Every structure is written in C-alpha cells, then in structure tokens.
Structure 1
Amino acid sequence: MERYYLLLSQCAGDCGTAEALHVLSKVCGFRVEVAGQGVISIVSKNSENIVRCSSKLVCARCIVKEVYRASLSEGWDIALGAAAEVLSRELAMRASKERVGVDVEVSDVALRLSAAERALVAEKLISMLRARDNRLVTLRSTPDFHIWVGILSDYLSFGVILQKFRGDRYRSREPHRRVYRRPFALVPQVARLILNFSLNPLHGPFLDAFCGTGATLIEAALEGFYGVGVDLDYENIRGARRNSLQHGVYHLIDLIISDAAHLPFRRDVFALAAFDPPYGRAASCKGKQPHLLLTEALERVLASLKPGARAAFLSPGSEEYSAVAESAERVCSIYVHSSLVRVLWVIEKSFAKNQQAELL
C-alpha cells in the first residue's frame, strides 16, 4: 500500500473538502483523512483508481505520490538531503532525456514558513538534486518531473505530482455558452458538486426535481447516469432538451412537465437525486412560497428514492428554511454574494423509513 495526496483548490470553500471525503471514501472505497487544509491523504495499492475517482471532483487540482516522509524535528538540511537521495532514484527510473525539466512546489499547510523561506526550500532541494544528476534544469511551465513538498501538521512529505486536473475543464458548459440560458442558472461546478454529494453505491436512474436549464442532468449524463428531469415551466423543459442536445447527452435524459410537489413516480425508483429548487427574487414558484414548495417536494422525492439512496440539494441560509434541518443534514455552505449564501443539504433514505412508509 502506498500513500497519495489529493490537492484541492479553494473553488467551493469547505464544500470542496467535504465533497472529496464523501466521494473518495463512501463511493470509491479509499482510506482517507484530512492531512491539512486542501490536502487529502489517500492510502491505495495503485494510482489509477485514485486518478479516475478524483477526476469527478469539482475542486481536484492534482494527485501526488509520496516517496519520502520526514519528521519536522530532523531539521531541514537532513530532511532535504535524504529526500533528494530518494527523489534522484525516482527521477532516474522515470526520465531518460538528456535534459530534464524540474519544478518544486512547496505547500505550507501548517503555515510555518514565509514565501521567501518556501522559495529557499525549493532552491535547496533543486540544487541537491542537480548535484546528483547534472541533466536537471529548472522549468516552471512544463516540467518533466514535478516535485511536491508538503509541510503538514507534524511531518514533511516529499512526493511527485502524477496527475494535474485542468482548472478550465468546466468552461465549455458554463451558462453563457449554453444555447438556452436563464438568469441565475447553475454553473456546472455547483451542479457537479450537488451531484457528487448524491452519489452512493446503489445503481439506478438519477432524478432532478427542479431541472431548470438542465445543468445537473447534463453533469449526471456525462457520468453515465440515465436521468429524469422535472420542471413545471415548459420553456425550461424545452430549453433543457436543447442544452442536452448541444452536449450530446440527450439519449440519456427524459424530461417531464410536472409539479415537484406531485411527482408522477412510484416508490423506490431512483438511486440518487440532486436539484436546486427556485428561490430568491428571480424564482418562479407558480404562486407557492419557495420554502413551502421545497418541503412538499422533499416528501415526494424521498418517496421515489430507493432505500439507501441519497438526495442532495441547495437552499438559501435564511431562517424560513430552517425546517429543512428536521429531515436533512447540513453539509456545507457556498458564498454567492452579500445577499445569498447557498446551503448544501443531504438526505439519505434509510431502510427503516421505507418500511414505515409501506405500513402507512
């Protein structure tokens, strides 16, 4: 078993870490723990499954394989010298070019060093590596060998970056690029975020009870799920169809005009659900109060889920939505602007609730 680290960007605040822990441990089955802010430690036999699983995550930045660990009490010179010896052997196995570009990234999770001190650590390590292998040159843009130094709570970790994830991988699906657009439509990162929180070991169709322009349906379809989208607005249903055709996933999607408070599905159909109900000044709830509509819709969504299935959804953080806490677990929050903070909630349908519903 080897140790790897998933490095996260700050794209979704505390939701990014919660998302990574849920998907990596509950869905993919890895042993994980938080090693520091934006750093998830993973123990696994190989890196392929880690890369495949991490590619689903909204805030995934890169995967690091640890090759050496040192105690903070050893001192920097001893730790860097020992790490350089291990890294030089790793470099000899990987690189066969006459000149090898190297870069060092120092992540001070424990906030022990200044920017100048971090730069000095990187320079020292590169000079030690160059003394062992004269092929090395510093190359920041496209290095052949990217080294990561993690200054964690009580130890130093030295590793090699195996995989980087593009920061612009959602750009092609941004709202302004869709053929059908609506104000305040979900950006693909948030749509993927709530989808990931709904993931579970069950297999089956996906439900979006307030599909809108189809952002969450598209993300689910790109992961291979057959999805059903519901909306009371015909223009949204028509627009979601156009957007799914644009992204080539319409064959995995069905769209239904219906009230989310009266979903036309039998019990125990869907394996997962994720949605963003209407709220705010731009919301159209057809005469209903948004928080009451959400409460009614949750009952119908929960009834249509299989036992053990999960539903993830967003709501404002205002007081009128406090009743949601009676049935759902608050996971994290996403700051939108000064007047809106989105709270992400998760409900897992237990087997006991399903048996109780059958008795009623």
Structure 2
Amino acid sequence: MSNKYILELSGENIEIAHTEIRYIQNAFKNFEILQESERYILIEGSYNNAMDSAFTNYISRVIDENQDYTNFIENTIPEGFFYVRVSEMPKTETMNVESEIGKNLGGKGRISFKHPDFIIRVIFMDKWYLCQLIYERNKKSFEERRAPMRPFFSPVSLHPKYARYLVNTSGTVPGDTLLDPFCGTGGILIEAAMLGRKLIGNDSSLNMVMGTKLNFKYFGIENYKIYNKDITELSLNYKVDGIVTDMPYGRSSEINNHDIVELYREAFVKFNELLKSGGKCSIIVNNLELLDYAKKYFNIEKTVPVYQHKSLTRQFIILSKIN
C-alpha cells in the first residue's frame, strides 16, 4: 500500500497554508514533502500530524499515478461503492472526466453518491494522481470555537484557524509547554489544548484571566496555569518549549500604562528569558518596525502577511531564539 499522500489546501492564504505544513513536518519529522504546487502538497510517510493543520481541507492516499488519466484501470481501487471527484478543472470538463475515469475504474453498478464505501479523488500536479480520500476537515469545528460562540469573548479575538496556525508553527509537539503571555480570552491556548500542548497563560487584565478560565471550563480544559501579571513581572521556574501570542497593538497600549514601544521592548526581553534555547515564538504583530526589539535575541525565520481589511494587514511572524 502506498504511503504517499496529497494534501489539498484551503485557498484563503496559500503562503500560510504551505508554511504551516512545513513547520509541522519539521517538528514531527515523520513525513517528507516530495512536491508542492499552489493548492497541493505531495508527502511520503505518516499523514497523522497533517490532519491537525488548520489549512488542509483533504488528505488522500495515492493509489496510482500516470501522465494520462485514461490509463487508470479497475484493479487499482478497493471493492465497494464509490464516486469520483476531479480537482481544479472547469466544471463542464470535470463532469466528463469524472464519468470517464469512473467507467475505466469499473464503476458500472458501483457508483453511489449517497452511500459510497470510499471516494476517489483525481488530482493533477506534475502528472495525474489517482487517490482515495482518507480525511476531510470538519469545517464546522473551527466555527464552533469562534469568539462569539464562547461564554467570554472580545470582538477582536483571533479566528481559531489562525490560532491553530500559531500552535502548529511554534516548533512544539504534544506534551510540550506553550506560553501565551498576552492570552486575552484564551483562544490560542484553546487550540493548543486541542493539540495536546501543556498550557501557560498570562494577561495583565484580571477580567481577561477570569474570562479565559470561564472559556477553558466551557471547553473542558482542566490542566493549565494562568497568571495575572504585567509582562515585566511574569516569572517561571523553568523554560517553556514555545511562545504563541497575538501581540497588543495600537498607537499606545493600555496595559499597565506601557506605551507600545516600551511594551514590545520589554516583551522580547521576557520572551528570551522564559523560552528554552533554540525555541520558537509564533506571534502576530501589526507593525514590522517593532520587531527591531526582537533581533538582539531572535532570528526572524518567517513573515507571512495576512490581509484583514483595507486599513489592516497583520504580520504572522516566526522567531527562533538565538542562544
């Protein structure tokens, strides 16, 4: 049985989708990326951790590959009822190609759209790939964890998909400890809990800390530590494995009377103090100039801009600790 798989990525931000998979691969090292195109990534190895990606819609096991899709034949697929879906073709052509491939695969009397035993996906990258769908992302799950669905929320809360991206690009694996030093309502840490990380949260607002606890209870999250500290006063007796956060932004910050420049300067000093050697910070900033205060302690590995609206593009930044 083939251990090659094709990941089909969502289209809202191609760069962020590719970056997430590369960092998952680097953290777990249980699959190899063989090829990438705009909407697809061909991997070899285990697909299990790729299922935790926020921006992977489908994962399909490669059954056969050929320069001509008409060469796919019946004995390559399992027994049972199925139907065929071809990706990335004009709709009028897709229907004809799907019908032709289904016929060549012995689909007479076996095609079922209502009760299939499996689904065949046919994808073109450098050649045609005949695949069996093995994973489809539950699109409702992220929506069920959006800010308005939580007991306590802020209107500017990060969407769960982007919160999960931060966790997946933090260089951590299940069992590692993640710190969100500006945790707000806890959205990033909720995704971290779903992915098996140990949680440490902090916020200088007692209201936010209490709200985060309420949200954790709602989602059944019990094992965590959370502090109500100014960033300069946050202290731990051990190093964390990764830091994930949506940095405060604006002309000035209301956080304990810090202006925004002072806040960033002190925050990066504290990140360096709390993070293990070689650890990563996956953070969001609005102003790239404020990253100058990180460069003494961190290398900037990756910057991905994410458009929000006409006046706001947020920068998703991955930093790695120098020492």
Residue 91, structure 1, aligned to residue 78, structure 2: yes
- Which whole-Å deviations, capped at 9, do the CAs of 1:120-176 have from their partners, x for residues lacking one? 2112112223xx35321241x553231111111x31111111221211121221100
The separation in 2 between residues aligned to 1:324 and 1:104, in whole angstroms, is 53
Shift of 1:283: 5.8
Q: Which letter maps to 2:78?
A: L
Q: 1:13 to 1:336 in 2, by over 3 A?
A: farther
Q: 1:188 to 1:282 in 2, by over 3 A?
A: farther
- Counterpart selection for 2:189 from 217, 220, 231: 217
Residue 104, structure 1, aligned to residue 84, structure 2: yes
Shift of 1:23: 0.3
The answer for the alignment partner of 1:289 in structure 2 is: 259
The answer for the alignment partner of 2:6 in structure 1 is: 5
The answer for the alignment partner of 1:274 in structure 2 is: 244
Match runs of 1:105-120 below 5 Å? 105-108=85-88, 114-120=90-96
Q: Secondary structure at the match of 1:23?
A: helix
The separation in 2 between residues aligned to 1:324 and 1:155, in whole angstroms, is 47
The answer for the alignment partner of 1:260 in structure 2 is: 231
Runs of at least 4 residues off by over 6 Å: none
Contact 2:253 2:259 in 1 (8 A): no
Q: 1:14 to 1:283 in 2, by over 3 A?
A: farther
Q: Which letter maps to 1:314?
A: I
Give the alignment's TM-score, normalised by structure 2: 0.90
The answer for the alignment partner of 1:358 in structure 2 is: none
Shift of 1:179: 0.9
Give the alignment's TM-score, normalised by structure 1: 0.81
Residue 323, structure 1, aligned to residue 292, structure 2: yes
- Which whole-Å deviations, capped at 9, do the CAs of 1:254-278 have from their partners, x for residues lacking one? 1111112342234x51011101111
Contact 1:262 1:297 in 2 (8 A): no
Q: RMSD across aligned C-alpha pairs, in angstroms?
A: 2.3
- How many residue pairs get matched? 319
The answer for the alignment partner of 2:213 in structure 1 is: 241
The separation in 2 between residues aligned to 1:55 and 1:283, in whole angstroms, is 37
Q: Secondary structure at the match of 2:257?
A: coil
Residue 176, structure 1, aligned to residue 153, structure 2: no
The separation in 1 between residues aligned to 2:320 and 2:289, in whole angstroms, is 22
Q: Which letter maps to 2:166?
A: I
Structure 2: gaps of 5 or more residues: none
Contact 1:15 1:331 in 2 (8 A): no
Q: Secondary structure at the match of 1:194?
A: helix
Q: Which letter maps to 2:314?
A: R
The separation in 2 between residues aligned to 1:227 and 1:319, in whole angstroms, is 27
Q: 1:142 to 1:258 in 2, by over 3 A?
A: farther
